[in-house]
Structure 1
């Protein structure tokens, strides 16, 4: 059924309508959105991040980015994005945040138990800088990698190719980080790229992945005071770091816990479990945008 918005017949002008070369139209639309929203994310990263007011500004900028995405999807695809369904956001965010914080607690505990990490503190460092980083990375990276890349790759090629491709791209995106190696990027791909996508597939919404991503980074960076994806430490409650001489494949080295063997094991096990739940739910056949 056609829908008129501002004189445009959206029902007839949907860019991803069924028909010849829909895969190519999906990929083209994906590339355009990717370029636009990585640009927006780059702008958000330049905002100051030291105070509670800064946190509100970062949150407002990310919310504005989500609103631009919703508007673009409405105009080009003829639908309001169910992947951003607001009524489910509070519970999804809480569940995702709980899982992200728990995973990081298990990883830090494992690193200490096998004797490659040490923890000092508490130090009482301000949480605002890490909170701002967690908000922007949790919201904007999930929008780019899951709502844009994964969703449209699913539309073009199906679930499995999309799942693998977005995880590989997510890992590759961390190669430019300080201390990054091929091993650390493969670790990010496996433990985080698949894990975050698994929660997106399970719910067909973005919010669990946003909560998990943000809480993972916040717990790692502020609560435990470890390096987050190789970036310099921010003020933190505790300080966690590899012991001198600890093997990098066990400790993660300068890149931080995300490149460690315990993180790969825990993240991969949780990802496999959630992917199995999504498969049992039938979401490996369904599309988050199946109403289009």
Structure 2
């Protein structure tokens, strides 16, 4: 039995043009979730700022407690919106959001993400390709907020929507390739991005996060890995996260590429995700889990 429930009723019922219906539903659900998250968060930031007596001019000037509350609420509502849309359009329960397994899988994912990034940066430091220095702790709430935002919203969009519905349309291997390439390509718009950085993101995160979803059939482990990865990279070690700070500043360390080291080794301005150690460590983990998924019979083609 497949761990991932793909959906086989209403819009995803087997039959003529299933692939086209699945792709159309993927686009519609993608737009619904992304538009809701953007509009709701922006609107609530304005409301919260006005209620606090401040003036909404630029997002960076909004008080942090307001931003944290808005993003946390947005993440919860995105999960609820996805559940409701799937129950209506696919006429099924939504085991990928089962709450019973959430605590263990979320915590486990956080630990795995933290260990993978700590290992990658540890190798960068050991090889002399990055310099790690201590600094005073300034803040932590922005980093937690950014971790929630990237972990929940990006995983719902790329694993539950893009990966799952591409699987329904074309099978698991094509779905893995399409979702990983798309995830990497979208990072080309980030600061300090390069083609090599996008390839690293596709191979590291695109495979790793999808395989946690394949193995568990739920989104909690991918959310945990993604959030733990970003938090450890950006806040704990103070490295660039996908090309920028992304709100992760304020932690106890600062990690910078060593002078004179090629970007493909150190990650350059994009950060450890685009480094050779990051590529090797995280891709090896993803491929190991992918092999395990295949051995367990989880990579069966969608019917």
TM-score (norm 1): 0.90
Partner of 2:126: 113
C-alpha change, 1:200 and 1:279, in structure 2 (3 Å) is same
Q: CA deviation at 1:198?
A: 0.9
Query: Do residues 172 (structure 1) and 168 (structure 2) align?
Result: no
Instruction: Map 1:192-203 to 2 at 5 A.
Output: 192-203=205-216
Alpha-carbon separation, structure 1, partners of 2:63 and 2:212: 30
Query: Do residues 104 (structure 1) and 117 (structure 2) align?
Result: yes
- Helix, strand or coil: the match of 2:75? helix
Partner of 2:3: none
Alpha-carbon separation, structure 1, partners of 2:94 and 2:226: 20
Partner of 2:259: 244
Partner of 2:281: 266
Q: CA deviation at 1:52?
A: 4.7
The partner residue of 1:78 within 64, 73, 91 is 91
- Runs of 4+ with deviation above 6 angstroms: none
Query: Do residues 123 (structure 1) and 119 (structure 2) align?
Result: no
Partner of 2:31: 35
Partner of 2:56: none
Q: Is the 8 A contact 1:45 1:136 kept in 2?
A: no
Alpha-carbon separation, structure 2, partners of 1:255 and 1:263: 12
Alpha-carbon separation, structure 2, partners of 1:82 and 1:19: 24
What is the root-mean-square deviation in Å for CA atoms of aligned residues? 1.9
Alpha-carbon separation, structure 1, partners of 2:40 and 2:216: 27
Partner of 1:217: 230
- Helix, strand or coil: the match of 2:188? coil
C-alpha change, 1:42 and 1:57, in structure 2 (3 Å) is closer
Gaps of 5+ in 2: 1-7, 46-58
Alpha-carbon separation, structure 1, partners of 2:19 and 2:173: 15
Alpha-carbon separation, structure 2, partners of 1:227 and 1:132: 16
C-alpha change, 1:225 and 1:45, in structure 2 (3 Å) is farther
- Helix, strand or coil: the match of 1:240? strand
Partner of 1:4: none
Q: CA deviation at 1:50?
A: 5.9
Partner of 2:167: 154
Q: Is the 8 A contact 2:87 2:94 kept in 1?
A: yes
Q: Is the 8 A contact 1:44 1:62 kept in 2?
A: no
Alpha-carbon separation, structure 2, partners of 1:50 and 1:190: 37
Q: Is the 8 A contact 1:44 1:58 kept in 2?
A: no
Q: CA deviation at 1:266?
A: 0.3
Query: Do residues 20 (structure 1) and 16 (structure 2) align?
Result: yes
Query: Do residues 280 (structure 1) and 276 (structure 2) align?
Result: no
Q: CA deviation at 1:64?
A: 0.4
Alpha-carbon separation, structure 2, partners of 1:119 and 1:42: 35
Q: CA deviation at 1:26?
A: 0.5
Write the deviation string for residues 35-93 of structure 1: whole angstroms up to 9, x where unpaired.
12222343466556864553233111111011011000000000121111111111110
Q: CA deviation at 1:235?
A: 2.0
Q: Is the 8 A contact 2:87 2:93 kept in 1?
A: yes
